[in-house]
Structure 1
Amino acid sequence: MKFVKIALPYDYLTTVLDCMEEALRNCKTDEEKEKRRYAYHALLTVWGENAGIVKDD
């Protein structure tokens, strides 16, 4: 498995997570749901780890 690092504003990450939640609800097969669930939980972890970080400009 390859891993990538991306620079994404926190607000965009929140939007991506909202979209992924909707995609999980609309899965037609368990296989499809499992693929999305893994990515969703990985992003959710990143989101949570960065929730309290405030960047100074």
Structure 2
Amino acid sequence: MRPQSLTSGYTNLTDDLGDAWRSGVHGSAAKHQRLPAVKATWDPDNLFRFNKKIAPANAG
């Protein structure tokens, strides 16, 4: 189970503790760095968002 678990808890049930925390809660820094590009492709208008925001790559 450990390889599939998050490093900082369940992302929807925690407080946002800043950039370093967000990077860990998504599994790894590498995954977190890819998320803005994925978000820009699949949700460029940022319709799907919540308190731990990943802005689309093209959002200033």
Normalised to the residue count of structure 1, the TM-score between the two structures is 0.30
* Structure with more helix by fraction: 1
Higher RCO (C-alpha under 8 Å, 6+ residues apart): 1
Normalised to the residue count of structure 2, the TM-score between the two structures is 0.29
Instruction: Say which one has the larger Rg.
Output: 1
